[in-house]
Amino acid sequence: MRKLAVLGASGHGKVVADTAQCCGWDQVDFYDDAWPGLTRNGNWFVGGDWAAMVARLQDYQGVIVAIGNNTVRHVKLAALIGVAAPVVSVIHPQAVISQYASIGTGSVVFAGVVVNADAKIGSGAILNTGCSVDHDCVLGDTVHISPGARLAGAVNVGERSWIGIGASVRQLIRIGSDVVVGAGASVVSDVSDGAVVVGVPAKVISTA
């Protein structure tokens, strides 16, 4: 029996668990620091907190972080790698991934996602439902591309950045680390580290 441990019993975690089962994982167990107050996440049990999960790593063939906050996910993923946890990626069978693309360890790719040739996705990324990442894009670790977002060719996105639902990014654009691109925004110029951009065309509304 293939057993997967999922850290983070949230709505995002439910989609990760459902995707994992579509990929053939026989059992999915959640762990969350809200335990023991939180014992279920929809159809799945919450078996303990972070410490309990680390203590039981030998019981699992895979472990993944299902925390939507990019910074927290980045920290937790690094901690799991530091204890030699069997970190895996989960890719929905209805995602279309080019044979020439690469997906980093600990990433999740949901249904309807398209990743084209020579795209490089970092570790711990979230490619959410129906987003597209075109040829030669480079995404840093723990990036989140939200549902329906579109990255044109050769876009570069830095670590921990979040591209909001339905946003679009023009080809050859460079987006820094820790950036937030608002829902529905259209990014047509480069974005510096730590900026928040919204609108059509996207404009900076705050900086780090």
Catalytic site residues? 135
What distance in Å separates the CA atoms of residue 11 and residue 171, rounded to the nearest whole number?
32
> 82 near 13, Cβ under 8 Å?
no
Q: Tokens 């990255």 — which residue? A: 151
With 0-12 / 13-18 / 19 or more C-beta atoms within 10 angstroms meaning exposed / middle / buried, residue 183 is middle
Among 89, 8, 19, 2, smallest CA distance to 41 is for 8
What distance in Å separates the CA atoms of residue 127 and residue 61, rounded to the nearest whole number?
23
Spatial neighbors of 126 by CB under 8 A, at least 6 apart, are: 12, 68, 107, 108, 143, 144, 145
What distance in Å separates the CA atoms of residue 187 and residue 56, rounded to the nearest whole number?
44
Region of residue 23 (left: phi > 0; alpha: psi -120 to 50; beta: else): alpha
